[in-house]
Amino acid sequence: MFAAFLQYLFSGLTSGAIYALAGLGFAIIYNASHVINFAQGEFIMIGGMASATLVAAGVPMPLAITLAMIISMAVGVALEKFAIEPARNADVVTIIIITIGASIFMRGAAQIIWDKEFHSLPAFSGEIPIAVLGATLMPQSLWVFGVAAVVIVALWWFFNRTMFGKAMLATSHNRLAAQLVGVGVKKVLLASFALSALLGAVGGIVVTPITFTNYEAGIMLGLKGFSAAVLGGLGNGGGAIVGGLIVGIAEALASGYLSSAYKDAIAFVIILFVLFFMPNGLFGKRGTDRV
Amino acid sequence: MNFKTARTGGLALLAIVIAAAPIGFSNSYYYDVGVNAMFNAIVCVGLNLLIGYAGQISLGHAGFFALGAYGSALMTTNYGIPPIGAMVLSAAVVGLLAFLVGRPILKLKGHYLAMATLGIGIIIHIVLKTESKITGGPDGMSVDNFSLLGVTVMGDRMWYWVAGGLLVLTVWLALNLIDSPVGRALRAVHGSEVGAEVVGVDTSSYKVLVFVVSAMFASVVGSLFAHKNGFITPDIGSFFHSVELVTMVVLGGMASVFGALIGAVILTLLPQVLAAVEQYEAMILGAIMMGTMIFMPKGLLPSIVASLKRRGAGK
């Protein structure tokens, strides 16, 4: 009984950590630009695919991982520079179509640059499962937890203790005021896309040894990350982390105890339920409408 | 030119184009593509009432389309209900569902609404895929022909004229709705919800109304699509199909009935044109979506009309 529960919990925490990273990516871009980037999932895919194919081509793992992160960040910067920046003042729907267009473009490119097959990375520290109270834990899951925790702490430090991080926070609160006190808002926007792409890539890289990846892997991961961000309250970093973990754990429990076919539906059922009662997510600020 | 003459002129032009297009059709494949383009156009004209006029996004309309299709398929094959009855019943059920979910979710704004509608669409898609005992699962199910009063609609040519007639009717209905007090109320909601409420518009009722109407449009077309195609799979309710529908509306021009129509026709034809470069299809589609929205954020038709007007004024 308990062992099964623990097993589901481990798998839920593993995917929840990835959703949390994706959700943070959504939150960072949303804060800097009020854009929801539907191509967030593609950063996860690019991180996974690039590192997997580089390793398969004989590049040493640490170098492959670094390169994958750089590639993903470059794509993020290009997206901001060439697709988001020129459409600064467009409608919400228009920008949604742009980012969805970008995600379709990236999937199409990935299909040509790589292929339609599934790719995997070797686990970072072996595949010998660890027994915990009757359940088993893969060492790679520990990597996922650890890396997610390190990333979260680093982000906290970046946003609260560095000048540039504070400038990004200031921009999210009031763009004009930030600009007036000398924050380079354009740089902040570029940095937010680079940072989100980096988060996505990191998530994609650490999870690829467990789930494998292909050119389409980003679709569902991106939507789950969006769910996490909305569940926690858009633009709330801590909320996105909690949201991601809730979605991951609920999914794992539902597929364990109810039906695995409905695993992907669970995230959306939770979201609808929460939004019915809390229209700004769990920790979101109540918005007011200016006339 | 005032609105009334522009409206009749546009309608007449549409009827002429539909009637004249078959001159260039050399085989039934053209009719097939034409029917699909017009089906999409009908859904998009309905969806545009929601997105373009009321300013509310929906990333889940393919779900309503799929419910209409499966509703008709199941009722006609399993219960022997005549196609027209199945179509009306499906639309009524979809309308009721849209009403029930619409009330709470249309209180949401912007991205929260996008998330909620996206969630509804995905849940419908997954249910259709999973309940294989009823729906046949991912393999899909076959559907009988559509018949009414002893006449069976069969073949691409016949469907072409049925779809064409319905499209003209839909556009006429939409144009009238927009020019009615309801249409003005919707535009007020788009402009400013608080402002509309202050001048006495019951914003939430209007938003729900147009959500229900657009969902029922999608459902009816879903039913017809099922009969015409003879075979349906759950993928007609996928997230990608919802995105496709929204893209048609936004690409052609939000808050423009003919814009939505043109967007639907272009995006239906595009894959046929791109079939020659199949490998690059996704990249080209993505690039077109991004490019149009960056350079013509208001959509094709409104941007073209605006540039013509500017040129006219320059003379």
**CATH number, domain with residue B40:** 1.10.3470
Using CB atoms within 10 Å of the CB of residue A176, give its burial: 0 to 12 exposed, 13 to 18 middle, 19+ buried: exposed
**How near does any CA of chain B get to the CA of A39, in Å?**
11
Q: What is the mean pLDDT of residues A279-283?
A: 80
Indicate the residue of B105, B123, B294 with minimum beta-carbon distance to A98: B294
Residue B225 lies in a domain: yes
Q: Taken in order A280, A26, A21, A175, is the CA torsion positive or negative?
A: negative
A109·B243 Cβ contact <8 A: no
Nearest to B143 by CA among B154, B132, B151: B154
Query: pLDDT tens digits for B228-245?
Result: 888 898 889 888 889 888
> Which tokens belong to A150?
């390190």
CA triple B299-B301-B304, angle to 5 deg: 100
Residue B103 lies in a domain: yes
B80 dihedral zone (left: phi>0; alpha: psi -120 to 50; beta): left
Query: pLDDT tens digits for B133-186?
Result: 888 778 888 877 777 777 777 777 788 888 888 898 998 888 888 888 877 777
CB within 8 A of B278, min separation 6: which ones? none
Closest residue in B to A81 (Cα–Cα): B294
Contacts of A96 in chain B (CB under 8 A): 57, 114, 246
Share of chain B above pLDDT 90, in %: 19
> Which tokens belong to B313?
């004024």
Residue B274 lies in a domain: no
Indicate the residue of A100, A107, A259 with minimum beta-carbon distance to B243: A100
Query: pLDDT tens digits for B276-288?
Result: 787 888 888 899 8
Using CA atoms, how far apart are residues B185 and B205, in angstroms rounded to an integer? 11
Residue B131 lies in a domain: yes
A26, A40, A84, A275: best mutation site toward chain B, by most B Cβ within 10 Å? Answer: A275
Confidence (pLDDT) at A287:
58
Residue B306 lies in a domain: no
Q: Taken in order A171, A175, A180, A184, is the CA torsion positive or negative?
A: positive
> Which tokens belong to A32?
């800097």
Using CA atoms, how far apart are residues B67 and B185, in angstroms rounded to an integer? 29
Secondary structure of A185-238 in HEC code, one letter for each residue: HHHHHHHHHHHHHHHHHHHHHHHHHHHCECCCCHHHHHHHHHHHHHHHCCCCHH
Give backbone dihedrals phi and psi of B17, rounded to 5 degrees, phi first.
-60, -45
The Cβ of residue B62 has, within 10 Å, a number of other Cβ atoms equal to 28
Residue A289 has pLDDT above 60, yes or no: no
Of the pLDDT bands very low, low, confident and very high (cuts 50, 70, 90), residue B67 is very high
Mean of all residue pLDDT scores within chain B = 84
Q: Between residues 237 and 276 of chain A, which touch chain B (CB distance below 8 Å)? A: 259, 261-262, 264-265, 267-269, 271-272, 275-276
Confidence (pLDDT) at B90:
93
Mean of all residue pLDDT scores within chain A = 88
Nearest to A231 by CA among A220, A219, A245: A245
Q: What is the mean pLDDT of residues B271-299?
A: 85
Using CA atoms, how far apart are residues B180 and B178, in angstroms rounded to an integer? 5
Start-end of H helices in B106-238: 110-130, 132-135, 155-178, 181-191, 193-198, 203-229
What is the CATH class of A2-277?
mainly alpha
Tell me, yes or no, if A98 comes closer than 8 A to chain B by beta carbon.
Answer: yes
Residue B314 has pLDDT above 70, yes or no: no
Q: Between residues 4 and 43 of chain A, which touch chain B (CB distance below 8 Å)? A: 30, 36
Using CA atoms, how far apart are residues A4 and B133, in angstroms rounded to an integer? 29
Residue B37 lies in a domain: yes
For the question of whether the overall pTM of this predicted structure is more than 0.90, the answer is no
Of the pLDDT bands very low, low, confident and very high (cuts 50, 70, 90), residue B1 is very low
Residue B24 lies in a domain: yes
**Contact criterion met (CB below 8 Å) for B67 and B234:** no
Per-residue CA distances from B99 to A24, B91, B202, B210, B294 (Å): 33, 12, 16, 10, 34
A92·B111 Cβ contact <8 A: yes
CB within 8 A of B105, min separation 6: which ones? A272, A275, A276, B113, B116, B117, B120
**How near does any CA of chain B get to the CA of A95, in Å?**
8
Q: Total structural domains in chain B? A: 1
Report helix, strand or coil for B60: coil
- Which residues span the domain enclosing B66? 3-269
Residue B2 has pLDDT above 60, yes or no: no
**Contact criterion met (CB below 8 Å) for B95 and B215:** yes
